[in-house]
Amino acid sequence: MTELSLLIRPELPSDSDAIERLHERTFGPGRFARTAFRLREGAPHDASLSFTALVGTLLVGSVRLTPVLAGSQAALMLGPLTVEPAFENRGIGGALMRRSLDAARQEGHALVLLVGDEPYYSRFGFKRIPYRQLELPGPVNVERFLALELAEGSLAPARGMVAVRPVQAA
Ligand SMILES: CC(C)(COP(=O)(O)OP(=O)(O)OC[C@H]1O[C@@H](n2cnc3c(N)ncnc32)[C@H](O)[C@@H]1OP(=O)(O)O)[C@@H](O)C(=O)NCCC(=O)NCCS
């Protein structure tokens, strides 16, 4: 069998349909009711910080970052992170995470939030947000509401409601 190598590159507009189908397969129709999905629906993700994984011409994974305000503090909301089920456990999720977090750091972003499994995301440095420090516009399990400080001390001043914010023009 031919070994096809993994390519991680910035998301292109033409990836949208395949990513939507991947989200449908991974999260099902219930995804639209999830608080993080509903929050992100309010504004486009930042294409320069969102990455697609390809094996050959097959789209096998995606990660997106969306600009938000955490109280009055600028932050990014990470997600969805999705890997095609047949391609799980090959390091694709990790490669997408590292690429998007490196890009966010290089662009000077200070804080990344997400809703997800702490046992997975802790390997990238994500930690639980103290209870009620930040709130999402919908129910969220406090054990799954996580933050990564790209700049030390960036979480402490972030207090209140998380809301989407428009992407700044370059
Ligand atoms: C979670 C997900 C993105 C991981 O992608 P992946 O490419 O399989 O991950 P990697 O290959 O980089 O890492 C695999 C490791 O993560 C672990 N892992 C995967 N999902 C995990 C979870 N939910 N909790 C804890 N560990 C997890 C695996 O056991 C494996 O551990 P090991 O390194 O000790 O062997 C992928 O499984 C997925 O798309 N799941 C469904 C969608 C989802 O839950 N997305 C996250 C919420 S937005």
Signed CA dihedral, 53, 20, 64, 32: sign only? negative
β-strands 127-128, 111-115 pairing: unpaired
Q: Is the CB of 55 under 6 A from ligand 1?
A: no
Q: Which atom of ligand 1 is nearest to the CA of 81?
A: 48
Where does the pLDDT of residue 169 fall: very low under 50, low under 70, confident under 90, or very high at 90 and above? low
Residue 157 DSSP one-character state: T
What was the pLDDT predicted at 168?
59
Residue 23 lies in a domain: yes
Residue among 35, 14, 17, 33 at smallest CA distance from 25 = 17
- Span from the CA of 72 to the centroid of ligand 1 (angstroms): 32
Mean pLDDT value across the chain: 93
Q: Which atom of ligand 1 is nearest to the CA of 82?
A: 39
6: part of which helix (H) or strand (E)?
strand 6-10
Whose C-alpha lies nearest to ligand 1, atom 44? 82
Residue 129 lies in a domain: yes
- Span from the CA of 97 to the centroid of ligand 1 (angstroms): 11
Q: Render pLDDT for 44-102 as a digit per residue (tens, 0 to 9).
A: 999 999 999 999 999 999 999 999 999 999 999 999 999 999 999 999 999 999 999 99
Contacts of residue 127, Cβ cutoff 8 Å, sequence gap at least 6:
118, 146, 147, 148
**Does the pLDDT at position 1 exceed 50?**
no
Residue 51 lies in a domain: yes
- Span from the CA of 93 to the centroid of ligand 1 (angstroms): 6
The total of other beta-carbon atoms located within 10 Å of residue 67's CB is 19
Residue 170 lies in a domain: no
Q: Which domain holds residue 142?
A: 6-164
Residue 60 lies in a domain: yes
- Span from the CA of 42 to the centroid of ligand 1 (angstroms): 27
Distance set, CA 20 to CA 31, 82, 94, 109, 136 (Å): 11, 10, 20, 26, 23
Residues 35-47, mean pLDDT to the nearest whole number: 90
Q: Is the CB of 79 under 6 A from ligand 1?
A: yes
**Does the pLDDT at position 15 exceed 50?**
yes
Report the alpha-carbon distance of residue 78 to residue 170 in Å, rounded. Answer: 21
- Span from the CA of 69 to the centroid of ligand 1 (angstroms): 27
What was the pLDDT predicted at 37?
87
Residue 78 lies in a domain: yes
The CATH number covering residue 114 comes to: 3.40.630.30
Contacts of residue 98, Cβ cutoff 8 Å, sequence gap at least 6:
124
pTM equals 0.93
Q: Is the CB of 120 under 6 A from ligand 1?
A: yes
**Number of structural domains, the chain?**
1
